[in-house]
Chains A and B, each alone.
Chain A
């Protein structure tokens, strides 16, 4: 990963795949229909009021579906632009961000960490493509990498300071829920409580220590990121957090680029 453009391209390619899947999930689950909990409106802020005025051409549900389809097409076209060097990536990234703003105005609940990370990636990408300055491009990459590392550290620190995670079979308990659980693994970890506690401690240590991979020699950094990707894939398999795989692994090219940048210019 030599240039910032390569890092951003790979980051966006991976994130686009995840956002395509999320968009298709929204369309097929009809989550944006008016009788669904997902479209409960808590805040009628200025963006909501502005978008509502624009929605005079049809009902909210239909217009939102159109926006989600627009986002889906923009992701596919962005992937094409990045792979085939069309030089239109900036346009498609702007369309994705605009779609996200409209969708999140009406989808005020049901969002998760992957949605937050996608926002960070694509908004940073807008600046990356629209400003020719190398300083802006580097800032965008560093920002994505920084947010990714902050996410792991915060999650790990919150668990470290928690009265539950290091002292109980937290992982085993989480696996006992229908939302994020798996019956066989739940029963196994209830039977072997020591394994559940060990896994809980491992996850806390992994999340707290992962951000420091940025300071390791590049080969070790790559190994740490492969381990992190493995962690997310396991969370996807066991807990159904499929969107986290794409949103967080998408940030790894920026982390790797930052690692190389540090070793070239700082260390």
Chain B
């Protein structure tokens, strides 16, 4: 019995390792494996490659007032100043990574033919809803009636900073309960 369990466990490790190797390369096999990898056991090890992440995603929003003028764009705060404390303690990185992951999924969805033909359908996707929920949780002045969000990409610091708009949402009525 012990011999059988030993063989099964060793075989499991070998198969897991071989599948991990296959998973590193973009191929139809990777897509199939990803579909069944419910537990996230297959790692993806291509850090900052092939295209290094050189910019940040920024989530901004603005409100339409009851006089039908738009407010300035406000940013949802995710980032903080550089600090050496990040070496030991960096709680902000989880939400930052989540923002990056969700926006990447949204941008990928935008390339889907379905949403190219029917752009408004993007509003029904999970990443869009997640970002809309996030901006709706930001403080809301009494005279705001609609809210619109946008996703930007920024790189560099100070005067070197470059900002590129990536996506602008539709405007959405603000729920009375949000005020």
Chain A residues close to B by CB (< 8 Å)? 21, 25-26, 28-29, 31, 35-38, 40-43, 45-47, 101, 104, 107, 109-113, 116-117, 119-120, 123-124, 127, 131-133, 135-136, 139-140, 142-143, 146-147, 150-152, 154-155, 158-159, 161-165, 170, 173-174, 176-183, 186-187, 190, 233, 236-237, 240-243, 245
Contacts and interface: CB of A to CB of B under 8 A. Distances in A.
Contacts, number: 204
Contacts of B40: 104, 111, 116, 119
B24 to A, nearest CB: 5
A53 to B, nearest CB: 16
A27 B162 CA distance: 34
Contact of A242 (B43, B49, B88): B88
Interface string B13-53: 11011001100100000000000001111011111111111
Contacts of B118: none
Interface centre among B39, B52, B100 (most CB of A within 10 A): B52
B120 interface: no
Interface stretch (B63-71, B91-99, B139-147, B166-174): B91-99
B157 A116 contact: no
B45 A154 contact: yes
Given A36-B98, A143-B16, A183-B82, 8 more contacts: A35-B133, A117-B43, A146-B17, A154-B24, A176-B55, A177-B53, A242-B89, A243-B93
Nearest to A163: B50
Contacts of A119: 40-41, 43
Nearest to B158: A183
Interface of B: 2, 5-6, 9-10, 12-14, 16-17, 20-21, 24, 38-41, 43-56, 79, 82, 84, 86-102, 105, 126-127, 130-131, 133-134, 137, 154-158, 160
21 contacts: A25-B94, A37-B95, A37-B102, A37-B131, A38-B98, A40-B130, A45-B38, A46-B38, A113-B45, A133-B9, A154-B45, A158-B49, A159-B50, A177-B54, A177-B55, A177-B56, A179-B53, A183-B157, A236-B87, A242-B93, A245-B87
